[in-house]
Structure 1
Amino acid sequence: MPDSVLYLKNASIYQRENLILSEINVTINKGDFVYLIGKTGTGKSSFMKTLYGDIPLREGEGSIVDFDLRALKEKQIPFLRRKLGIVFQDFKLLNDRTVKENLLFILKATGWVDQKAMNSKIDEVLSKVDMKDSGNKFTYQLSGGEQQRVAIARALLNDPELILADEPTGNLDPQTSVEVMEVLQDINKQGNTILMATHDYALLLKYPSKTLKCDGNKVFEVVQRKG
């Protein structure tokens, strides 16, 4: 699939011996913004974990950012994750470090060595999420919305081909959720492909886009009604 960043064909996802999702046929192309919805326990998290290599794909075909999910080996997972930007519900920031130190930590961990290049990259991603003046603050000094912006900036550090946002507004109040959503929308307009798992149906109505739903062990596209 030439333009697809994610392609699953007749794929099934298992947690140990339990079948979680079956007969998944999904394609996400470069530049798409796609929602993943479904009640708790319907497999959204398992779906996301399969995409970043936490759960092996044992049945069907699957390819993500040019990695074959069926053939993915343990030692390839760090390389896969460098091509993905992952944003979690609970931010996963290091509280004993400043915003800038959090981002430096990731750059060094993924092989960057040139200090000037690292500083420049950090400025670039913080600008994208409107947090350029907060580099020297400790993460615990930030509001939830600001922490999630930093988490999005962190996801952008290695120019990912696909951003996986797993309930990125789950811990935020409605107003802050909208602000974070605006950041994600802007990043998408700049060409980043985003798959966002969410419970927040208000956001789907406000920012309609292609929507996949997990239900009854299946993943299918939901057609949103216009107006």
Structure 2
Amino acid sequence: MQNVLYLKDASIYQGDNLVLSDINIEINKGEFVYLIGKTGTGKSSFMKTLYADLPLTKGEGSIVDFNLRTLKEKEIPFLRRKLGVVFQDFKLLTDRTINDNLMFVLKATGWKNKKEMSTRVEEVLNKVDMKTKGFKFPHELSGGEQQRVAIARALLNDPELILADEPTGNLDPQTSIEVMEVLQEINKNGNTILMATHDYALLLKYPSKTLKCDENQVFEVVQRKTTL
């Protein structure tokens, strides 16, 4: 199996504060992995380290073939092109349409050909069932629709790994399930996904490999099969 994320004896710091220590995990290509844990247990710091918002200063770590320990400032944009990041609060640009939001990302990541860019925008919106909404502005969409667009944006550069940080955190239960269905479908198509969540109902409905942050540790949780 090819791994897209590998951490060995890694520790994560927020400034001088130790957040997580002695992390030993692997995520392989094509996996869907949950990251769970109470608020304040280090889920966000863990995610930030993966997309190089926080440096990895202790241990070994590689993500989509980038070494997190030796990563240079100038390499960070190239790392982020191989990652798709989905945030809880969507982070869409409110002053432009959905199509223009996605075009903006393509321009920022080096795309030049207008026709290819338009085709790519159409493809990713189609994947999340939002093809007919590209002309709308973010405020004209529901929360669930905005999150679908955020997922489409994460797919633009065909990332090797999607990091979804509480993607259903601001959504009602029904909309959360709709967004999960989209993520499940993307995963079936071969995209690797690491999703931080505190929504345990989703874990029961869509069981998968689960990592837990607790007491400065990250470890894999073995899910027990429940019989009714």
For the aligned pair, the TM-score class normalised by the smaller chain equals over 0.9
Percent of residue pairs bearing the same amino acid type: 79
Match for residue 178 of structure 1? 177
User: What are the superposed Cα offsets for residues 50-72 of structure 1, whole Å, 9 maximum, x if unpaired?
Assistant: 00000000010000000000001
* 2:33 maps to 1:34: yes
In structure 1, runs of 5+ residues without a counterpart are none
Matching residue's letter, 1:5: V
Match for residue 65 of structure 1? 64
State the SS of the aligned residue for 1:199. Answer: coil
State the SS of the aligned residue for 2:76. Answer: helix
* 2:84 maps to 1:85: yes
Distance 1:17 1:134 in 2: 45
Distance 2:102 2:12 in 1: 33
State the SS of the aligned residue for 1:25. Answer: strand
Distance 1:105 1:140 in 2: 18
Matching residue's letter, 2:178: E
Matching residue's letter, 1:17: D
Matching residue's letter, 1:118: M
Match for residue 112 of structure 1? 111
Match for residue 226 of structure 1? 225
Matching residue's letter, 2:85: I
User: Could you state the TM-score of these two structures normalised by the residue count of structure 1?
Assistant: 0.99
Deviation at 1:48, TM superposition (A): 0.2
- Equivalence map 1:120-199=2 (5 Å): 120-199=119-198
Deviation at 1:139, TM superposition (A): 1.0
Q: How many pairs does the alignment contain? A: 226
Deviation at 1:22, TM superposition (A): 0.4
C-alpha RMSD over aligned residues: 0.6
User: Could you state the TM-score of these two structures normalised by the residue count of structure 2?
Assistant: 0.98
Distance 2:92 2:176 in 1: 18
